[in-house]
Structure 1
Amino acid sequence: MELKVIKESVTVNEVVYDSFTELPIECDVLLPDYCPDIMKVLKCCATPVFTQTTVEGSSLTVEGYALLELYYLSENRQIRCSEHKTPFSKVLDLKCTPENPTVSVSATVDYLNCRAVNQRRVDIRGAMTISAKVIAQKSENVVSDAEGGGVQLRKNAMNTTCVVGTAERQFTVREDLELGYGKSAIGAIVRKQVQAVATDCKVISNKIVVKGELIINLFYLCEEDERPETMQYNLPISQIIDLSGVDEDCKCDVRFRVISCDIKPKADLDGESTMLSAEVTLCAVAKAHRNTHVQAVTDAFSTTYESSFAERPITALRLIDVVDDKHHYKEHLELPDEVVSVLHMWCDAAFTGGNLVDSGVQLDGRLMLSMFAMDNENNPVYFEKPVDFTHMVELTDQEENLLADITMKAASCEFTPTGDGRVEVRAEIIICGTLYGIMKCDVMSDLAVDETKPQKRDGNTALTIYFAQQGECVWDIAKRYHTSVAAVMEENSMEKELLQSRATLLIPLIV
């Protein structure tokens, strides 16, 4: 019977680019006219914001800006803030032209130094590191079955994940917010922190419906000369994202990215600034995955003719889990000796790496705890402290290699003085993203038998006695003697292919 080879197309995704690049942060900042003069610089912070990523040919272009927040003391010893944006753009060489690329970028600020040139001008110098990952999609033709020619096949289930696609939708939230009852009117906003998190995701045909929460934290000065105040607002948000090919069988990773925010005091009907005008531009990013299962032939031989096959290595991704967790951080923090009281505390979270452990995946993160406080001379001061933390994700399946695409955001940060020169810090960290296993294997791309070269056999031998060792596999024995696995197992009344102990086997001849 003539050999008939059946092939199947398998879509696999592989990481074609995973690297870091450093970008400088350099600018001279002039205070706008409405800001008071600088008496003393407290701190300058930078937040990288990505506005666009584009893949053209073998190049990845990353664009965005660094939001610079300059905190300083004015002449009347009040904490003030001046915001500035410095744009950045970087072209990265991917070394290949990816098909249907999926891009993931993040950034961390390595260092930032600032120097007041005069009371209206500040020189800022620093650097940030951009991390970029590009996943490409391609199709591989693999041998999934064959019949005829006396071929014997060894099959293995290939469980891979196909990234159906990614889609983005930009939108703007506009709200008028009221201060809480009994709150003093706003004099000036010192600091604002805006985060957006996804809370629910539903998939319908070619669309993803996502709901979330916009979290706004404010630290502001009162119009009257009082202690600064804080406020937090939680606003519901929702979007419908169009993504061709997505359906109910897909697993989706949806995240919100804050593009810009403009929050200003607003007068109420009595003319007092007890309201806020908020305009926040967000980008909802969705990535859909579909798991695929293929029975691929990994080894073959013929009991009748000499055979040959071709194989090639592939690297594929398998989705392990879509992470949507909360980490509750708690610590008793010892304050510096000169601090009398804490005015405001916040934190920023960053993902630093993931590792496979026995019970699952350990996700490492770093919190930068920051505070405005009053010292023993009644002057506002700034302090910060980096702390590391870990979050465990339990898994039922283990992988040899891990790729973690994780985002960590600080949703809240609260503190309570304990009266012994320390404060109890409580922070809620939102952890979301995807965990992939990197699978490397050889796939059979072609199979053939040579009917002009039959297997050489001893015509006088119907059975061969073989002394098998513990741990040997019947497949390897059958391949050596050009017989079938089924025939060996039937002849020796075996139930499992792997030998648990030494044994004497009868190897039947297949004609």
Structure 2
Amino acid sequence: MELLKKNIHMNRQKSQAVMQVTLEEDFNVPDSKADVGSIIQDEAGVKIEDMKVANGQVMVTGAMEVEVLYVADNKERKVHRLTERLPFEEQINMEGAETGDNVQLKWDIEDLSVSLINSRKLSTRALLTFSAAVEEIYDVSAAVEIHGDGEISSLSKNLDMLQLTVQKKDILRIKDEITLASNKPNIQEVLWKSIQLRGTDIRILDGQLDVKGEFFIFVLYAGDDENGTMQWVETALPFAGTVDCSGCSPSMVDDVELSVASVSLEPRPDYDGEERILALEIVLDLDIKLYEEDKVEILEDVYSPAKELKPVTMQQVYESLVMKNFAKCRSSERVRMENNQPRMLQICHSRGDVKIDDTQVVENGLKVEGAVFADILYITSDDTLPFALMHGVVPFSHVIEVPGIDGTCRYSLKTQLEQLSTTMIDSEELEVKVGINLNALVVRVHKEDCIVDMEEAQLDMKKLAELPGIVGYIVQPGDSLWSIAKQYYTTPDRICRLNNLESEDVQAGNKLIIMKTVEITD
């Protein structure tokens, strides 16, 4: 007897882990900078420099880079910028992780706080959360056919599988320029920049990924006029690029994480030698996972009227696609400033970050709850503090439609801020409107018994002798010709011929004559 097997590519989430670490450090104001009077705004990002995986541990090396915008403690009350770097080396315990694994690492900064110790020293504190996950591709050997002497009946089943075909990391480098409007003064110094990624669209082509989107850019700078007046530039910059991706095709399902890895923005002279051009270079990180749907037929059961066949099975885990859905959610909120804040004359710039508080599976959908945390930079009515920052929180709740989703499903959720608009109501209150993109990939996790071997034995002659040689049988609900034939040690083909059936489809209530195939002799 020969059992034909096939190697089937499967994927599974091998391991995942979450770790939090507190970074805290004091730093001095450089001698070249003026004393700090008051802090306007602070911002931080994480740069991962190295990641090593071995023996159930992931070693992450990098730094949290902090920027601070402040007003000087002097008569001029000019605005300045400070930068500080907080290095870290953290170990994430991740059961099952080993050398060569492709680790998907995400980070989130919570509770960033920059405070004044004195005019020459600041204190920085933040809670950094790392989320790590590993998906692996592995091969399973499953029986697909069986051949041998005598009559052997086999039953097959189809598995709709979602196979991880491509898993890689890559970068996309975008270079562009921003030219100042004619009514703006030349650039003396860039004080602050904000780059937000919005409206991204990723399409799979043959052998490459097509990436499009938009950068929402804000730059605050000191002009080179006599008073060094504060100026700003705000613009939307569309971009497009391609990333080579061997083996990909338009029929695949994408799950690509796109994030800003680094930004370089420097003033450059124009043709007249004046500093009126902002040279921009942005590096995007792409964490690429591409899946392919496949239908695989494997053996479910085998029997023979001539011998006892016992399939040897091994439980395997595989995934099937439920749905990939792209949803949009809109929300708005009125935000009033605190009593001790300077009053607002004009909104300068606003930016927001989407935070997910909770996701849960509901009937035919995935409920997402969270908030957009908005920072609004504005011009004040206080001459001693030209700029101030206002914080706002816009909660949202949305159900992404996913018919058929249940507790056996696993999902990947990506969020992106598509729109953020702020409108002054008066000098103390404004309205914040947001639009959020919610991109969900939902898969169902299956556990399947796959036949990997076959054991043979002689028939139980005593049991066979107790069976009648011929029987009249009324088909019961849930019966199939296969199950009936196996029960009475015959074959579906023999039952069809004996009852003049044109197909193996039988309905509850059908009457059949069944003859035992095996002859029992004393």
Superposition TM-score tier, normalisation by shorter sequence: 0.7 to 0.9
Aligned counterparts of 2:104 and 2:15: Cα–Cα separation in 1:
10
Give the match for residue 236 of structure 1: 239
- One-letter amino acid matched to 1:456: L
The alignment status of 1:138 with 2:149, answered yes or no, reads no
What residue number does 2:191 align with? 189
For the residue of structure 2 that corresponds to 1:456, the secondary structure is helix
The one-letter code matched in structure 1 to 2:258 is F
Could you tell me whether the CA contact under 8 Å between 2:331 and 2:394 is conserved in 1? no
Shift of 1:230: 4.3
Write the distance in 2 (CA, Å) between the matches of 1:442 and 1:140: 11
2:129 is aligned to 129
- Does residue 1:218 correspond to 2:187, yes or no? no
What is the correspondence of 1:306-455 to structure 2 with a 5 Å cutoff?
306-321=308-323, 325=326, 327=328, 329-336=330-337, 338=339, 340-341=343-344, 342-351=347-356, 354-373=359-378, 379=385, 380-395=387-402, 398=405, 400-419=407-426, 422-432=429-439, 434-451=441-458, 453=460
1:508 pairs, out of 480, 498, 514, with 514
Gaps of 5+ in 2: 518-522
CA 1:386–1:212: 2 relative to 1, 3 Å: same
Q: Shift of residue 304 of structure 1?
A: 3.5
Distance 2:177 2:379 in 1: 32
1:116 corresponds to 2:116: yes
Moved more, 130-139 or 448-457: 448-457
1:21 corresponds to which residue?
19
TM-score normalised by L of structure 1 = 0.83
Task: Provide the rounded CA distance (Å) in 1 between the counterparts of 2:516 and 2:19.
Answer: 61
Deviations 1:422-475 (A, max 9, x none): 43323344555744332222222222332465561447530144584x556665
Q: CA RMSD in A?
A: 3.7
Against the structure 1 CA distance between its residues 247 and 54, is the aligned structure 2 distance closer, same or farther, given a 3 Å change threshold? farther
CA deviation profile, 1:123-155 (whole Å, cap 9, x unmatched): 212221111110011111112232455444333
Q: Distance in 2 between matches of 1:366 and 1:465?
A: 64
In structure 1, how many angstroms separate the alpha carbons of the residues matched to 2:479 and 2:166? 44
2:25 is aligned with what amino acid? C
Question: How far apart are residue 16 of structure 1 and its match?
Answer: 0.8
With normalisation by structure 2, the TM-score equals 0.81
Question: Which position in structure 1 is the counterpart of 2:520?
Answer: none
Given the superposition, is the C-alpha separation of residues 329 and 85 from structure 1 closer, same or farther in structure 2, using an over 3 Å criterion?
farther
**Mean Cα displacement is larger for which, 157-166 or 127-136?**
157-166
Q: 1:326 to 1:158 in 2, by over 3 A?
A: closer
Asked whether the equivalents of residues 29 and 121 of structure 1 are also in contact (C-alpha less than 8 Å), the reply is yes
Moved more, 470-479 or 214-223: 470-479
Please say if residues 327 and 400 of structure 2, whose CA atoms lie closer than 8 Å, have aligned partners that are also in contact: no
Number of equivalenced pairs = 502
Asked whether the 8 Å contact 2:204–2:248 carries over to 1, the reply is: no
Aligned to 2:163: 162
Conserved in 2, the CA contact under 8 Å of 1:475 and 1:497?
A: no
**Percent identity of paired positions between Structure 1 and Structure 2:** 15
Residue 279 in 1 paired to residue 281 in 2? yes
Instruction: Identify the residue that residue 38 of structure 1 maps to in structure 2.
Output: 36
The reply on whether 1:456 has 2:453 as its aligned counterpart is: no
Residue type at the aligned position of 2:451: M
Give the 3 Å change call, closer, same or farther, for CA 300–365 of structure 1 in structure 2: farther
Is 2:190–2:219's contact at 8 Å kept on the other side of the alignment? no
Tell me how far 1:275 sits from its aligned partner.
Answer: 2.6
d(CA) in 2 for partners of 1:350 and 1:335? 21
Whether contact under 8 Å (1:55, 1:61) holds in the other structure is yes
- Deviation of the 1:349 alpha carbon: 1.8
- 1:328: how far off? 5.1
Q: Which moved more, 1:112-121 or 1:455-464?
A: 455-464
Q: Which piece of structure 1 moves more, 224-233 or 4-13?
A: 224-233
User: Displacement, 1:64?
Assistant: 3.5
Aligned partners of 1:412, 1:269: CA distance in 2, in Å? 35
Q: Distance in 2 between matches of 1:498 and 1:58?
A: 54
> Structure 1 residue aligned with 2:203, among 185, 191, 201?
201
Which structure has the larger Rg over C-alpha atoms?
A: 2
Equivalents in 1 of 2:51, 2:453: separation in Å?
Answer: 39
Rounded to whole Å, the distance in 2 between the matches of 1:210 and 1:6 is: 41
Residue 412 (structure 1) shift: 4.5
The counterpart of 1:264, out of the listed 263, 266, 286, is: 266
User: Once the two structures are superposed, what CA deviation does each residue of 1:49-84 show, in whole Å capped at 9, x if it has no partner?
Assistant: 445545456543434332323243333556544233
Q: Give the Cα separation in 2 of the matches to 1:420 and 1:28.
A: 35
Tell me the SS of whatever aligns to 2:331: strand
